[in-house]
């Protein structure tokens, strides 16, 4: 899939930048600016929450798009749109007001290993979240947290919240990762980037305030890991939580207030090179 209206520029051999901090920073800043702009949105899962303006709709649709974000991006977008259609394209209202009859269209939903059982439990979980006064942000961060491990604690807290319910289905738990299991938590870190990062570029929403952009952890998937390794930003051989921390710490050398902006550079380069191969 081509990124929308993306001008082609010469990309240097990434390994040649690995031991040149200033040139590497200039390169990453340039690439981040290339991809962190509205043309990035249509082909990316972030386009799903961009359909909405209400905070709760953005959160719910964003979480769904993030949880579905593995495999082909066209399929991710189509399946995210499909489940939202089954929610009448009014996710917050549907979560609060759905009846048992409204849930029937969820029973045969399927996206890769996410099936009807998972969809039904997700609807139950979201309803509980928005009716007990918690809300999505507080499920991760119940109060402002300036600690260096705030995001790690938030991810652990969210999974525990997700699984501690009498109706919890064990099979559904695999869709909510946690640093406690060593997972890189790529999809949830991407979701947090959408919710927390604040700039004037129009891609991320910046509607959460309990943690700052400087505390975020970089989403670490195959594209990001491959480019980060060539640039000397990671040394671990396993894509896990420790790799995500290592990558983020190295990116903080270039921008401690907003290290995860470089996700646009690392991920975008991977997608672009794949689409042009």
- Looking at residue 276, its pLDDT comes to 40
**Are residues 243 and 138 located together in one domain of the fold?**
no
* pTM assigned to the model: 0.93
The pLDDT > 90 percentage for the chain reads 86
**Are residues 277 and 186 located together in one domain of the fold?**
no
**Are residues 12 and 67 located together in one domain of the fold?**
no
**Are residues 13 and 106 located together in one domain of the fold?**
no
**Are residues 190 and 91 located together in one domain of the fold?**
yes
Q: Does residue 1 fall inside a structural domain?
A: no
pLDDT in tens, 122-153: 999 999 999 998 899 999 999 999 999 999 99
> Is it the case that residue 169 has pLDDT exceeding 90?
no
Number of domains in the chain: 2
**Are residues 99 and 187 located together in one domain of the fold?**
yes
**Are residues 143 and 239 located together in one domain of the fold?**
no
Read off the pLDDT of each residue in 180-195 and give the average, rounded to a whole number.
98
**Are residues 163 and 255 located together in one domain of the fold?**
no
- Looking at residue 6, its pLDDT comes to 54
Q: Which of 185, 212, 239 is the last residue of a domain?
A: 212
Report in angstroms the alpha-carbon separations of 96 from 85, 172, 178, 181, 253.
16, 21, 27, 32, 43
Q: Which of 194, 212, 230 is the last residue of a domain?
A: 212
**Are residues 127 and 25 located together in one domain of the fold?**
no
Q: Does residue 269 fall inside a structural domain?
A: yes
Q: Does residue 202 fall inside a structural domain?
A: yes
Q: Tokens 């480019």: give the residue.
A: 227
Q: Does residue 107 fall inside a structural domain?
A: yes
**Are residues 84 and 153 located together in one domain of the fold?**
yes
pLDDT in tens, 61-117: 999 999 999 989 999 999 999 999 999 999 999 999 999 999 999 999 999 999 999
- Looking at residue 271, its pLDDT comes to 64
What angle, rounded to 10 degrees, do the helices at 222-230 and 241-252 form?
50
**Are residues 28 and 160 located together in one domain of the fold?**
no
Residue 275: band (very low, low, confident or very high) from pLDDT cuts 50, 70, 90: very low
Report which of residues 169 and 87 the model is more confident about: 87
Q: CA end-to-end span of the chain, whole Å?
A: 11
- Looking at residue 9, its pLDDT comes to 59
Q: Which of 177, 212, 247 is the last residue of a domain?
A: 212
Residue 277: band (very low, low, confident or very high) from pLDDT cuts 50, 70, 90: very low
**Are residues 51 and 172 located together in one domain of the fold?**
yes
Q: Does residue 236 fall inside a structural domain?
A: yes
What angle, rounded to 10 degrees, do the helices at 262-276 and 21-35 form?
70
- Looking at residue 222, its pLDDT comes to 84
Read off the pLDDT of each residue in 230-252 and give the average, rounded to a whole number.
96
Question: What gap in Å lies between CA 72 and CA 63, rounded to an integer?
Answer: 18
- Least confident span in 17-21, 59-63, 247-251: 17-21
Domain holding 85, by residue range, is 44-212
């Amino acid at each position: 899939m081509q990124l929308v209206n993306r001008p082609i520029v010469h990309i240097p051999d990434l390994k040649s930048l690995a031991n040149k901090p200033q040139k590497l920073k200039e390169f990453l800043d340039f690439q981040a600016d290339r991809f962190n702009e509205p043309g990035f949105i249509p082909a990316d899962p972030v386009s799903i929450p961009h359909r909405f303006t209400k905070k709760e709709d953005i959160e719910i649709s964003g979480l769904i798009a993030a949880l579905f974000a593995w495999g082909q991006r066209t399929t991710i977008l189509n399946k995210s749109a499909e489940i939202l259609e089954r929610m009448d394209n009014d996710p917050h209202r549907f979560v609060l007001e759905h009846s048992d009859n409204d849930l029937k269209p969820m029973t045969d939903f399927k996206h890769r290993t996410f099936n009807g059982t998972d969809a039904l439990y997700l609807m139950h979980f979201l309803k509980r979240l928005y009716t007990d006064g918690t809300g999505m942000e507080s499920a991760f961060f119940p109060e402002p947290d300036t600690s260096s491990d705030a995001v790690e604690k938030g991810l652990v807290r969210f999974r525990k919240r997700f699984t501690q319910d009498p109706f919890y289905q064990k099979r559904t738990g695999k869709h909510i990762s946690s640093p406690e299991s060593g997972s890189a938590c790529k999809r949830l870190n991407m979701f947090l980037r959408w919710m927390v990062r604040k700039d004037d570029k129009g891609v991320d929403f910046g509607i959460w305030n309990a943690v700052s952009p400087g505390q975020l952890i970089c989403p670490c998937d195959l594209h990001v890991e491959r480019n980060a390794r060539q640039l000397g930003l990671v040394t671990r051989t396993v894509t896990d939580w420790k790799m995500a921390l290592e990558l983020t710490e190295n990116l903080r050398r270039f921008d401690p207030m907003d290290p995860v902006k470089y996700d646009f550079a690392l991920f975008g380069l991977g997608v672009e090179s794949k689409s042009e191969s």
